Structure 1
């Protein structure tokens, strides 16, 4: 089965075809992956290519199964499963050594696990095949410049998110679903707790990474409200609350209120009064269905 055919392969159908015997055998061999490991041992002698088998070994059983390795790599990054992302992207590169997406993903995963030497290696490899790749060029420049300055880089998602960051204050904070969101590759660059920018324009407010990468726009009613308040002197910060493949939720926080609006709260959403965001749900991808800092320390992560 070719890598292309594997992209079309329905892993879940294979899972349903697995026998109890093979399930037991695989679960014993790979207990940390439970039932997912049994997919590597299909019933009736059905064959699977090596990349699919390895994916099934690596994939956490608590997560929905992807349909192919590239999608698996994206999901692993979105869920901050960096060790899994490293393994999957390496398998992709064995089949397609010049895959720009996989090289950038692998560099990003190594950065997140603190291996900056390998992060630089794979960003450099990207530039070997695509000399003008903006993600690799920018991140490699930041890595080299930071080392030269003697500053210590920290993985962007390694630490716990402070609960105070998502504390909602009546009249001062608002949770918003962005519209016209960027493609999944771009969304996988951000994470809960990450500060982003509001780019104020005449007719609306765009949300972007601190390095300028487009993420989405605020709804018109929120945009017009923010525009009026910022023109009057108010100041706001915005943070990523939660991320999924095709959606992004942000928290807008008032950090300064001008004298002009001294007695006027920024937001009047009654559903937010006196409530605190549950930090666990704020970082879970599945919950979405129901619902400027130092640039040298923050890479624009690889396109996933």
Structure 2
């Protein structure tokens, strides 16, 4: 069964904003501090011409994560003209492309072509952190490929601090596979009572 987060993203890809609102509301009801779901919910309200709700949601996101780039960016734009926010891509990229928090990466040491032929672009992928590399697998556990050494090293360090990520297969061409990686949870400094200021892909 496809999880609610994936369903919400798929609804956005189809520009079914009412369904996206419904699904993201369910996610937020279950986990009120889910900033990804809140961002999706706010943007869906923008697409249905309800900027007041969007502003309120973006403001609540900034109370949870003051450095959230998407919330800051869209809230500032909403103070101007809603059309400048609605003009952003509506093909689902708004849920994937977030400066400093996402990256598209081509995998290395990919699985044989007979395996890759079964991989459909757009599906959610899982990651497994090893001693040297981070492996990318299907949700059923089948190996797809590995992240390059530099990305593996950096993400492994941040994961040890508490960061979590989600990934989707972007493209499969012959033996080449690329994935979208998105920072899902940023580590929290319990001593300073703030989120880690270092974005996953700020370098």
TM-score by length of 2: 0.51
- C-alpha contact 2:134 2:146 (8 A) present in aligned 1: yes
In the TM superposition, structure 1's runs of 4+ consecutive aligned residues that sit over 3 Å from their partners are none
2:202 maps to which of 268, 275, 278: 268
**Which residue in 1 is equivalent to 2:92?**
164
Given that residues 96 and 180 in structure 2 are in contact (C-alpha distance below 8 angstroms), is that contact kept between their aligned partners in structure 1?
no
SS at match of 2:104: strand
Aligned position for 1:192: 121
Q: 1:233 aligned to 162, 181, 186, which one? A: 162
Alignment partner of 1:176 is 2:113? no
Q: Note the 1:1-304 alignment, pairs <5 A.
A: 162=13, 163-164=91-92, 167-260=96-189, 262-268=196-202
In structure 1, runs of 5+ residues without a counterpart are 1-145, 147-158, 270-304
Gaps of 5+ in 2: 2-9, 14-90, 190-194
Q: 1:160, CA displacement in angstroms?
A: 8.3
The secondary structure found in structure 2 opposite 1:216 is strand
Could you tell me how far apart the structure 2 residues matched to 1:189 and 1:197 are? 16
User: Which has more radius of gyration?
Assistant: 1
Counterparts of 1:208 and 1:264 in 2: how far apart (Å)?
27
- Aligned mates of 1:161, 1:247 — CA distance in 2: 27
Secondary structure of the structure 2 residue equivalent to 1:231 = helix
Aligned residues: CA RMSD: 2.0
Structure with a larger share of its residues in helix: 1
Q: Residues 230-276 of structure 1: CA distance to partner in whole angstroms, max 9, x if unpaired?
A: 1000110011001111100000000111124521111025xxxxxxx
The structure with more strand, counted as a fraction of residues:
2
Listed one character per residue, the Cα deviations across residues 182-233 of structure 1 (whole Å, up to 9, x for unaligned) are: 1111111112210011111111100011111111000000000110011000
Distance 1:218 1:230, change over 3 A: same
Distance 1:171 1:182 in 2: 29
Looking at structure 1, the residues matched to 103 and 167 of structure 2 have their Cα atoms a distance apart, in angstroms, of 10
Aligned equivalents of 1:167, 1:223: Cα separation in 2:
20
Contact 1:161-1:193 within 8 A present in 2 as well: no
Q: Is the 8 A contact 2:96 2:182 kept in 1?
A: no
Q: TM-score, normalised by structure 1?
A: 0.35
